[in-house]
Amino acid sequence: RPVKLVMTRDEVFRASGPTSATSIDVKIGASKDGTITAAEATLRYSCGPYAGSWAEIGAMTAFACYKLENVKTVGYE
């Protein structure tokens, strides 16, 4: 299901760094026992004049902490 995170202005300054605006869609597939079997992510970054690496880094690390054989990530700047 979609998840929405709402933070106060103070929380935004404490929890987020100086980064570009980002929109991310994630789709995860799992077996009946809950084992994650596949993952897909589309990352869209609004980098303005600082384009060049955020989409690549995000796409490479989106599922880096999982051992998955079926992964697709696409990054746009």
Report the alpha-carbon distance of residue 53 to residue 31 in Å, rounded: 34
User: Could you give the percent of the chain with pLDDT greater than 70?
Assistant: 96
Residue 27 backbone class (left: φ over 0; alpha: ψ -120 to 50; beta: rest): beta
Specify the pLDDT at position 35: 92
pLDDT bracket for residue 3 (50, 70, 90): confident
Specify the pLDDT at position 22: 86
Residue 71 pLDDT exceeds 90: yes
Predicted TM-score (pTM) of the model is: 0.69
